[in-house]
Structure 1
Amino acid sequence: MQQSRRRFITTIAAGSTAIAATPISSMARTLVQASGPVKRKGIRWRNWSGSQDCLPSERLAPKTIAELQQRVADAKGTVRAVGAGHSFTALVPTDDTILSLGRISGVADHSSETTQATIYAGTRIADLGQPLEDIGQALINQPDIDEQTLGGCLATATHGTGAGLGCMSSYVTGLELVTADGSTLWCDTEQNPETFIAAKVSLGSLGLVTKVRMQNQSSYKLRRESWVAPMREVLEQAETLAESSRNFEFYYIPFSGMCMADKHQLTDEEIFTTAREDTNEAVMTLKTVRDWLGWSPRLRQYALQSAMEDIEKEVVVESSWRNYASERNVRFNEMEYHLPREAGLAAFEELRRTIEENNLNVFFPIEVRFVKGDDIWLSPFYQQDSVSIAVHRYFEEDYQPLFKALEPIMRKHGGRPHWGKLNTLHRQDLTGLYPRWQDFLEVRRELDPKGKFLNPYLKKLIG
């Protein structure tokens, strides 16, 4: 019995956020027929969760930047770049042209003196760790889902966790854009500096980012420790743990009163790991508990707490890129807001109470991370050290009632939404959240006056 409890909660804890699945290509590459007055055949695109889709007239995957330039120059209508499909907002859908940079990938150049590397934007984060390690470098930080392309990560200000670490865009020192007429434009702090600061987080609305010069650090190992503790204990220690750890985050299991905490520290230890369980089983186990005991929050809490009481700490020492990444296979839709750090834990408490006092139908853990502020115009972390809070909904279930109940709390506490995660904000809401909003729009209009890179969603947002 004790062993089954240990296995149960270890899998719950390790898999708590989420869980990315089959490659998008296997979901999307099916010939379909569009509905409407004029029927046409094509290859339907869907995002990872299935919440966004479209039937573009063209789906292109150039082999070279020169071919990409020609494709952009010749394209009629809207052009949208597509990566791994891990965004939940409608950033990609268009009836016109979807363009993948997946065949233009890898490390193009590097410098041992500056510890920088120039990387093609179509490179998956999962495919960067070993090549960078081979040249003695590593990303300074990265998200735990590593299926995204580098370009997609930068477009939406994707982040990991670490109170002293910024989002991935904050480590960009230069980038190349293919603009609306097919020409290339290099941007950094000396060449086209205003375009550079706008393009580091741009939602793909300025052009197609083809190459990115990243500030990295020398290869390093991390010691990751994961443990279960009562929620009150974790909340009391959260600020201290965030300051004393290189990376720290925690996940609250709804209706349990318990958290899974996770911290990383730099180490020179030999590679080592304790037993590691199947993270995907864990989330489905949480779903089963919800399905069986959701009618009684008290019984649900008793069952979860009983299972979690005797869980042992998990320790993994590995190369940084191996320790960040998690294999995730259970699909979901997600809402995430970035709140001023001083408001983050209070917002989490209000979210938790709202879920549990109203017995909201949720089983995915609530994820809480810490992110350093930056100076990027459209970064949700602009001039704001943040606590990021993410809530998830199983992909087969309607996410709208849950998100509708929780989003006002995020907004009340001053949150800015993750650009790739579901939210209901409109242009007028965002102009008040981003002091340099108009500066970004001016750069965008100058680079793309005819709106070649704006799909219907972006036309409403920034067009």
Structure 2
Amino acid sequence: MPQEPINPPSLPQANFQGFFQCDDSTKVGRPADIDELKQLVQSYEHIKAVGVGHSWNKEQFCANTSADSSLNLVMTELLTTVNFIENPSDPTEWGANGPPPNFPIQASQGVDEDAARVTVAAGVPQRMLLDYLSKYTAYKQPAGWTLPAFSWFIDQTIGGAVATGTHGSSMTWGSLSSQTHALKLVVANGTEVTLTRESHPHLWRAAGVSVGRLGVITELTLAIVPQQAVTRSLETTQFANFTAQMLEVQEDYVAARESGDEDAIKAALFAVDETQLFWFLPNRVIWRTDYSYSDKEPSDVIPNIDPADAATPEVSAQSGPSDDIVFDQAYTDPVRPNAAIRYGTDGWTRFYTIATQNYVRPGTFERRKAFLSQTEFTTASASFAPYDQYEVSIPLERAGTCLQEVGAEIYGPAKLYEGFRTPGLIRFVNGEEFYLSPTHGGPRMYINIEDYISRSTGKPNTQFQTVIQLFREKCGARLHWGKAGWPEHAQCFDGSVEYPNTWCDYGCAVAELDPGSKFQPLSSLWQWHAQVNGTEVRFDSCCTSQGFDARCTCAPRTSCEGVA
């Protein structure tokens, strides 16, 4: 038997801050290794992988409870992963022999400096991977390594971050999904498949942002870059000025795209490459950070990615369940309301202006520390007051117009800005090839905003919710898969409308890897329909090894029952 994991044998029944509770009947699986994980996948009718529970969307990340046999798998509990989390290792400890065979930042290849890649277990938090890479200084890069672009909040598991298209701000590197070169996935029959862009192009485009619907990610190989000096600049401006800047970027991008001039497209995108901004809504102030370094060039920007041809992996069954790695959930009290949240906007704006200053101060830093990020240890947000975090992605060709139109409502007679306490975070990501990436189809502007009022007052924050709805209606905004807004702002989510060119391609990947809907979560949005000459046909009859058959039509959902 494998050694017992370090943590106690029970886990909360809720996601972030003790809210979004999964059904009490859902068990928690804590496999110690990949073999036990495979056994659990085979043994349960419904499975969802969970990481550190940093999600506001239980509909997507709780296992379906339509049957008694449902399980949430905790990927941080694999023995080698949890030991690393509890006792972080410094790469200088290993010497010339390298880390032990099962070390979670090695799994198969470890840090490959020649290829500029790292292989990591899915349950390793992004922050711990970044810290490990920054200390990898004894070999070819004396300053160490880092991920090319990483997220603002860096304590999610790396597998969960990739599965949801988590991102920083980069028109060159894209989200963490675009920085992934390979991933391993335990699929519905309990086998582990390895996917890359070259080996299985169709399934790769599905797995890159999979939302946990295809299987359990166990390992990833990601791009890394050497640490270097990066200079961060800070501009304080007004919302109206930033809107004017974005209108100019929008116009330049649209004109370049219409002309087909690739260099002009890259120049337009380069104007917001790595740009990150804090938007203090109540006083209309924008803090804009930009970055410069020796080899940053407009030619590095990627306007979009062209998919390649497709292939199919081979899978075969395994067997042999174990009974001592599944536990009941343990209840966690939700974070208590903070009565002070309901009072005034000016005071909270001043508070968060002071709290945010250290993140944006200009200067020259190593790359790992230059780009904006936050951990559980550098914020009081997780315990200070309950909140829901939302994020919308807006097509770059509408970004300036969107800010102009929604801003007029925010600062109009309804005073929608009064629904905000913390600053919004604005970032930019290039177009991605993945079927369910919020930036599929072209580059987008992301706006991350938080509702602190409703959970502390017990009343709907209608001003905040109106802003989310305006982004959806006026700007064609897509919702982030792992954050709040589902189902209230996707009342009848129709993938064939929101992802018109790829929704049914993704459905074909599901039909291939999970034909029995083992990884179907609570949400009902995961449905696909196909027609031929206007007549509904069985969906999988329109699937090929390369995705959805062009001779079929990806049809809309037939009803809104059990929405999102």
Cα deviation, 1:263-288, whole Å, max 9, x if unaligned, reads 233369xxxxxxxxxxxxxxxxxx96
Which AA in structure 2 matches 1:85?
Answer: G
Does the alignment pair 1:409 with 2:470? yes
Counterpart contact for 1:251–1:368, Cα < 8 Å: yes
* Cα distance in structure 2, aligned partners of 1:367 and 1:351: 16
Q: CA deviation at 1:428?
A: 4.9
Corresponding residue to 1:432 among 464, 479, 497: 497
Does the alignment pair 1:102 with 2:69? no
Hey, what does 1:210 align to over in structure 2? Answer: 218
Q: CA deviation at 1:262?
A: 1.9
Corresponding residue SS for 2:282:
coil
Q: CA deviation at 1:231?
A: 2.6
* Cα distance in structure 2, aligned partners of 1:320 and 1:56: 45
Cα deviation, 1:304-360, whole Å, max 9, x if unaligned, reads 69x99xx99822433323333223331421221111112113222333332332123
Q: CA deviation at 1:430?
A: 2.4
Which AA in structure 1 matches 2:480?
Answer: H
Q: CA deviation at 1:205?
A: 0.7
Corresponding residue to 2:182 among 162, 174, 178: 174
Corresponding residue to 1:344 among 370, 395, 399: 399
* Cα distance in structure 2, aligned partners of 1:426 and 1:351: 21
Counterpart contact for 2:186–2:218, Cα < 8 Å: yes
* Cα distance in structure 1, aligned partners of 2:441 and 2:491: 21
Does the alignment pair 1:243 with 2:270? yes
Hey, what does 2:169 align to over in structure 1? Answer: 161
* Cα distance in structure 2, aligned partners of 1:260 and 1:157: 25
Which AA in structure 1 matches 2:278?
Answer: Y
Hey, what does 2:62 align to over in structure 1? Answer: 93
Hey, what does 2:428 align to over in structure 1? Answer: 370
Hey, what does 1:73 align to over in structure 2? Answer: 42
Cα deviation, 1:131-176, whole Å, max 9, x if unaligned, reads 2230643211000110111111111111111333311101111111
Corresponding residue to 1:321 among 335, 350, 368: 368
* Cα distance in structure 2, aligned partners of 1:334 and 1:213: 29
Does the alignment pair 1:47 with 2:15? yes
* Cα distance in structure 2, aligned partners of 1:101 and 1:232: 45
Q: CA deviation at 1:408?
A: 3.1
Q: 1:346 to 1:198 in 2, by over 3 A?
A: same
**Which has the higher mean CA deviation after the structures are superposed, 97-106 or 432-441?**
97-106
* Cα distance in structure 1, aligned partners of 2:28 and 2:202: 31
* Cα distance in structure 2, aligned partners of 1:257 and 1:189: 43
TM-score normalised by L of structure 1: 0.77
Any residues of structure 2 matched to 1:329-340 within 5 Å, and which?
329-331=380-382, 332-340=387-395
Which AA in structure 2 matches 1:65?
Answer: I
**Which has the higher mean CA deviation after the structures are superposed, 76-85 or 419-428?**
419-428
Which AA in structure 2 matches 1:253?
Answer: F
* Cα distance in structure 1, aligned partners of 2:171 and 2:287: 18
Q: CA deviation at 1:120?
A: 0.9
Counterpart contact for 1:117–1:216, Cα < 8 Å: yes
Counterpart contact for 1:161–1:247, Cα < 8 Å: yes
Hey, what does 2:206 align to over in structure 1? Answer: 198
Counterpart contact for 2:234–2:362, Cα < 8 Å: yes
**Which has the higher mean CA deviation after the structures are superposed, 146-155 or 254-263?**
254-263
Q: 1:69 to 1:371 in 2, by over 3 A?
A: same
Does the alignment pair 1:118 with 2:119? yes
Counterpart contact for 1:179–1:448, Cα < 8 Å: yes
Greater Rg over alpha carbons, structure: 2
Cα deviation, 1:201-229, whole Å, max 9, x if unaligned, reads 11101000111111222223433334433
* Cα distance in structure 2, aligned partners of 1:316 and 1:45: 43
* Cα distance in structure 2, aligned partners of 1:45 and 1:222: 42
* Cα distance in structure 2, aligned partners of 1:191 and 1:164: 24
* Cα distance in structure 2, aligned partners of 1:190 and 1:389: 33
Counterpart contact for 1:155–1:201, Cα < 8 Å: yes
Corresponding residue to 1:444 among 510, 526, 529: 510
Unaligned runs of 5+ in 1: 1-27, 32-41, 269-286, 295-299
**Which has the higher mean CA deviation after the structures are superposed, 241-250 or 84-93?**
241-250
Hey, what does 1:396 align to over in structure 2? Answer: 456
Does the alignment pair 1:255 with 2:282? yes
Counterpart contact for 2:244–2:400, Cα < 8 Å: no
Unaligned runs of 5+ in 2: 1-6, 82-103, 250-267, 296-338, 529-564
Counterpart contact for 2:184–2:220, Cα < 8 Å: yes
* Cα distance in structure 1, aligned partners of 2:476 and 2:273: 26
Any residues of structure 2 matched to 1:30-45 within 5 Å, and which?
43-45=11-13
Which AA in structure 2 matches 1:388?
Answer: Y
Counterpart contact for 2:493–2:525, Cα < 8 Å: no
Does the alignment pair 1:234 with 2:242? yes
* Cα distance in structure 2, aligned partners of 1:345 and 1:399: 29
Counterpart contact for 2:494–2:525, Cα < 8 Å: no
Q: CA RMSD in A?
A: 3.2
Counterpart contact for 1:317–1:323, Cα < 8 Å: yes
Q: 1:146 to 1:113 in 2, by over 3 A?
A: same
* Cα distance in structure 1, aligned partners of 2:525 and 2:208: 21
Q: 1:293 to 1:189 in 2, by over 3 A?
A: closer
Corresponding residue SS for 2:232:
strand
Q: 1:437 to 1:193 in 2, by over 3 A?
A: same
Q: CA deviation at 1:237?
A: 4.0
Corresponding residue SS for 1:167:
coil
Which AA in structure 1 matches 2:72?
Answer: I
* Cα distance in structure 2, aligned partners of 1:201 and 1:67: 25
Q: 1:99 to 1:374 in 2, by over 3 A?
A: same
Hey, what does 1:354 align to over in structure 2? Answer: 409
Give the structure, 1 or 2, with the largest relative contact order (CA under 8 Å, sep 6 or more): 1
Q: CA deviation at 1:234?
A: 3.4
Hey, what does 2:28 align to over in structure 1? Answer: 59
Report the number of matched residues.
397
TM-score normalised by L of structure 2: 0.64
**Which has the higher mean CA deviation after the structures are superposed, 413-422 or 434-443?**
413-422
Q: CA deviation at 1:47?
A: 1.6
